[in-house]
């Protein structure tokens, strides 16, 4: 059984360090105004101790614990419960599971985990230009990437997933980030990410599981995937976070190829991760589901748009192509010199 860092009394110094460090980050994390975006813009640095989520054997045996267990089950077996043929409701537009992206049920460092999600919501979200609750943020992922319809906020399922995320991050002080909840940094080269180079990397390192056609591999009964799809009609929707090249490259660097790459020991170089992310997310060669309701304007406050969100208008003078594939550094430099936010 693992214990949390907070239970390890002998590591008081490290814990204290984490507090001091987190306090600094909170200033960046709690940007509740509608001018300053509050997505994960303040990555924790190496000075803090890696966050260790509580062990599932410590989930309490009471009504709350039962909801935590159900919430975890929903994150792992999402399609079974709320997929297109879901047993409790038909909400998702595809048969992916939350854990396909939120690795190890949202507990893997640098694997799009849920470590500090409960501690940081309600939060300002640039895409909606609104303060969203955790339940609304869960529905965001159900609408995009899952191409689904939002669940009622008081549904047992939204409450259960919220309980699970709360239990997972119960030792994270309100408003704080912890080490490991961010994305691994990638060094941005002075060239655009190259989908052609990415195609070669994909064939060599990814196609064996995700398929040469990127459609993944079904489980025998087609209820969900052994290996999830990366593009095509059943893959994540355009406009969701994985569709952004830098965000995706950071995930790939830390986690893919599965079982070969680890955040502490990446497999691909930074440039390779960017190239393969560009290949996967290149709409000129790969189809994927698009936003259903075109009347919804994403990022109505363009100041809060991430640099690698490839759909204009932008607060700077660079093209959609450059925002999508880079080179990103000139955009960063322009923004810095004009006092504009540098966000990924
Ligand atoms: C195709 C990939 C993908 C799938 C599937 C997915 N998500 Fe996400 N989700 C993301 C990404 C990427 C982010 C942003 C992570 C980041 O910025 O580091 C995110 C963010 C979140 C957040 C906010 C986390 C935070 O700390 O701010 C929550 C909560 C969340 N997702 C819940 C869910 C739930 C519940 C499901 C299943 C119903 C789900 N997601 C399915 C990719 C996915
Ligand atoms: C050994 C098999 C394997 C290989 C090789 C592999 N992956 Fe994956 N990948 C997985 C599995 C399994 C998951 C889902 C994780 C889970 O559900 O626990 C996944 C998830 C993903 C996801 C998030 C989910 C989605 O479908 O959008 C992306 C993106 C991804 N892989 C990209 C890559 C890239 C890029 C490569 C090559 C550099 C790669 N993978 C190589 C097995 C693999």
In this predicted structure, the answer to whether residue 8 has a pLDDT above a threshold of 70 is no
In this predicted structure, the answer to whether residue 167 has a pLDDT above a threshold of 60 is yes
The C-alpha atoms of residue 72 and residue 241 are separated, in whole angstroms, by 22
DSSP 304: G
User: Which atom of ligand 1 is found nearest the CA of 92?
Assistant: 38
The answer to whether 55 touches 2, Cβ cutoff 8 Å, is yes
Pocket lining: 103 vs ligand 2, CB cutoff 6 Å:
yes
What is residue 286's three-state secondary structure?
A: coil
More confident residue, 333 or 22: 333
Please write the tens of the pLDDT for every residue from 266-322.
Answer: 999 999 999 999 999 999 999 999 988 888 899 999 999 999 999 999 999 999 999
Position 45 scores a pLDDT of 44
Pocket lining: 117 vs ligand 1, CB cutoff 6 Å:
yes
Confidence of residue 23 (pLDDT cuts 50, 70, 90): very low
Bridge partners, 227 (sequence order):
217
Which domains does the chain show, CATH number per domain?
5-168 (1.10.760.10), 195-280 (1.10.760.10)
Element (H, E) at 125: strand 123-125
Pocket lining: 277 vs ligand 2, CB cutoff 6 Å:
no
User: Which atom of ligand 2 is found nearest the CA of 226?
Assistant: 12
- How would you classify residue 104: left for phi > 0, otherwise alpha for psi between -120 and 50, otherwise beta? left
Element (H, E) at 206: none
Mean pLDDT of 68-83: 98
Pocket lining: 241 vs ligand 2, CB cutoff 6 Å:
no
Pocket lining: 112 vs ligand 1, CB cutoff 6 Å:
yes
Separation of CA 317 and ligand 1 centre (Å): 30
Separation of CA 141 and ligand 2 centre (Å): 18
Mean pLDDT of 187-198: 98
Position 295 scores a pLDDT of 87
Position 262 scores a pLDDT of 97
User: Which atom of ligand 1 is found nearest the CA of 248?
Assistant: 12
In this predicted structure, the answer to whether residue 86 has a pLDDT above a threshold of 90 is yes
Which ligand places an atom closest to the C-alpha of 44? 1
In this predicted structure, the answer to whether residue 263 has a pLDDT above a threshold of 80 is yes
Separation of CA 280 and ligand 1 centre (Å): 18
Which ligand places an atom closest to the C-alpha of 251? 2
The answer to whether 310 touches 285, Cβ cutoff 8 Å, is no
Question: Token pair for residue 57?
Answer: 């054997």
The C-alpha atoms of residue 344 and residue 333 are separated, in whole angstroms, by 14
Separation of CA 286 and ligand 1 centre (Å): 22
The C-alpha atoms of residue 181 and residue 114 are separated, in whole angstroms, by 7
Q: What is the DSSP string of 218-258?
A: E-TTSSSEEE--SSSTTSPPTTSGGGSHHHHHHHHHHH-ST
Confidence of residue 336 (pLDDT cuts 50, 70, 90): very high
Q: What is the DSSP string of 129-191?
A: TEEE-HHHHHHHHHHTTS---PPPTTSHHHHHHHHHHHHHTTTSPTT---BTSSPPP-PPPSS
Position 48 scores a pLDDT of 73
More confident residue, 11 or 60: 60
Position 15 scores a pLDDT of 41
């Amino acid at each position: 059984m693992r214990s949390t860092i907070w239970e390890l009394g002998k590591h008081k110094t490290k814990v204290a360090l984490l507090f001091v460090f987190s306090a600094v980050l909170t200033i960046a994390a709690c940007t509740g105004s509608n001018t300053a975006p509050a997505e994960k813009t303040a990555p924790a640095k190496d000075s803090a101790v890696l966050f260790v989520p509580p062990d599932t054997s410590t989930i309490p045996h009471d009504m709350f614990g039962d909801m935590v267990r159900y919430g975890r089950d929903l994150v792992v077996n999402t399609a079974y419960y709320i997929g297109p043929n879901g047993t409790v409701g038909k909400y998702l537009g595809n048969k992916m599971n939350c854990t396909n992206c939120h690795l190890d049920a949202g507990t893997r460092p640098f694997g799009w985990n849920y470590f500090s999600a409960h501690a940081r919501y309600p939060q300002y979200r640039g895409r909606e230009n609104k303060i969203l609750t955790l339940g609304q943020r869960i529905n965001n992922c159900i609408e995009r990437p899952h191409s689904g319809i939002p669940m009622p906020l008081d549904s047992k399922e939204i409450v259960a997933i919220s309980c699970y995320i709360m239990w997972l991050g119960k030792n994270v002080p309100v408003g704080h980030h912890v080490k490991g909840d961010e994305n691994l940094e990638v060094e941005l080269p002075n060239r655009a990410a190259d989908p052609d180079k990415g195609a070669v990397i994909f064939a060599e390192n990814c196609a064996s599981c995700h398929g040469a056609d990127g459609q993944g591999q079904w489980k025998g009964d087609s209820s969900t995937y052994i290996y999830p799809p990366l593009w095509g009609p059943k893959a994540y929707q355009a406009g969701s976070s994985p569709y952004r090249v830098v965000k995706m490259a950071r995930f790939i660097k830390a986690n893919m190829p599965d079982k070969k790459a680890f955040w502490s020991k990446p497999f691909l170089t930074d440039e390779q991760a960017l190239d393969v992310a560009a290949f996967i997310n290149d709409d000129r060669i790969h189809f994927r589901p698009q936003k259903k309701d075109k009347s919804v304007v994403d990022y109505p406050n363009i100041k809060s748009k991430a640099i690698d969100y490839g759909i204009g208008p932008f607060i700077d003078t660079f093209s959609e192509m450059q925002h999508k594939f880079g080179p990103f550094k000139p955009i960063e430099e322009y923004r810095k010199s004009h006092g504009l936010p540098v966000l990924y």
